[in-house]
Amino acid sequence: MNVKAVIFDLDVTLIDSKKDIVIAANKAFSEFNLPTLPEKTLAFLTANGAEAVIKCGLREKICICLIEYSADLKRFMASPVLIILLYFQE
- Residue by residue, pLDDT tens for the chain (90 residues) are 788 887 766 666 677 777 888 888 899 888 888 888 888 888 888 777 777 887 788 776 766 666 777 777 787 777 777 667 766 765
Predicted local distance difference test score (pLDDT) of residue 77: 76
pTM of this prediction?
0.51
How distant, in Å, are the alpha carbons of 17, 66, 67 from that of 12?
6, 29, 33
Judged by phi (left if over 0) then psi (alpha if -120 to 50, else beta), residue 38 lies in beta
CB atoms within 10 A of CB 10: 9
Predicted local distance difference test score (pLDDT) of residue 90: 58
3, 9 Cβ separation under 8 angstroms: no
